[in-house]
């Protein structure tokens, strides 16, 4: 004998209706909540755009020029404004951008025109105009940053400048 819905006891029918309603309720409330929690993963990150740093006319033929940048960084649900410094120089027909962050302890280097080196004030590290280590404790050369020029304006890759030098 096949049981039909009319043969089921009243409690079992009510239990099935209650479980079905709970499933619908969880779907109605749960799916938007999960979508909200995962929304930072779908957001456009700053790595997808370029950061303006200056104009080609600001460059000097005498050596690297320090240019400041500012960009908004998203970290999950929070946003913060990050500012920094890069050095831009021309090598032949190419524009080169170097991070101003020393690879030893993360201090900002400065350009010394008389010595033709980048110098770190923290522990005396020195870098060549190409960013290679010339003296002192830095373990690696200055980080090269992707750069592009559009209609006379210089842009750098925010993904590269967001990565800070790590201690070794």
The tens digit of pLDDT for each residue in 122-162 reads: 988 999 998 999 998 999 999 998 999 889 899 888 766 55
pLDDT at 26 over 90: no
> Do 35 and 10 fall into the same domain?
yes
Q: Residue 93 belongs to a domain with what CATH number? A: 2.102.10.10
Sheet holding 110-112, edge to edge: 110-112, 117-119, 126-127, 133-135
Confidence of residue 2 (pLDDT cuts 50, 70, 90): low
> Do 60 and 9 fall into the same domain?
no
Beta bridge partners of 35: none
pLDDT at 51 over 80: yes
Residue 50 lies in a domain: yes
Q: How many CA atoms lie within 13 A of 102 on its CB side?
A: 24
Residue 167 lies in a domain: no
The domain in which residue 59 lies consists of 46-162
Q: How many domains does the chain have?
A: 2
pLDDT at 25 over 80: yes
> Do 79 and 107 fall into the same domain?
yes
DSSP string, 52-101: EEEEGGG-BTTB-EEEEEEEEEEETTEEEEEEEEEEEEEETTEEEEEE-B
Enter the tokens of residue 83.
């500012």
Higher pLDDT, 62 or 106: 106
The tens digit of pLDDT for each residue in 74-129 reads: 766 677 888 889 999 887 778 889 999 999 888 999 999 999 999 999 988 999 99
> Do 88 and 158 fall into the same domain?
yes
> Do 21 and 87 fall into the same domain?
no
């Amino acid at each position: 004998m096949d049981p039909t819905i009319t043969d089921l006891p009243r409690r079992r029918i009510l239990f099935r209706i209650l479980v079905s309603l709970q499933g619908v309720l969880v779907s109605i409330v749960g799916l938007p909540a999960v979508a909200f929690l995962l929304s930072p993963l779908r957001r456009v990150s700053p790595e997808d755009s370029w950061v303006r740093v200056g104009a080609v006319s600001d460059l000097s033929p005498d050596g690297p020029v320090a240019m400041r940048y500012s960009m908004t960084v998203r970290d999950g649900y929070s946003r913060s404004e990050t500012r920094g410094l890069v050095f831009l120089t021309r090598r032949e027909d190419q524009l080169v951008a170097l991070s101003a962050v020393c690879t030893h302890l993360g201090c900002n280097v400065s350009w010394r025109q008389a010595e033709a080196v980048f110098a770190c004030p923290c522990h005396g590290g020195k870098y060549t105009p190409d960013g290679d280590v010339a003296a002192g404790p830095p373990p690696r050369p200055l980080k090269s940053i992707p750069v592009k020029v559009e209609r006379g304006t210089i842009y750098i890759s925010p993904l590269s400048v967001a990565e800070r030098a790590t201690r070794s």
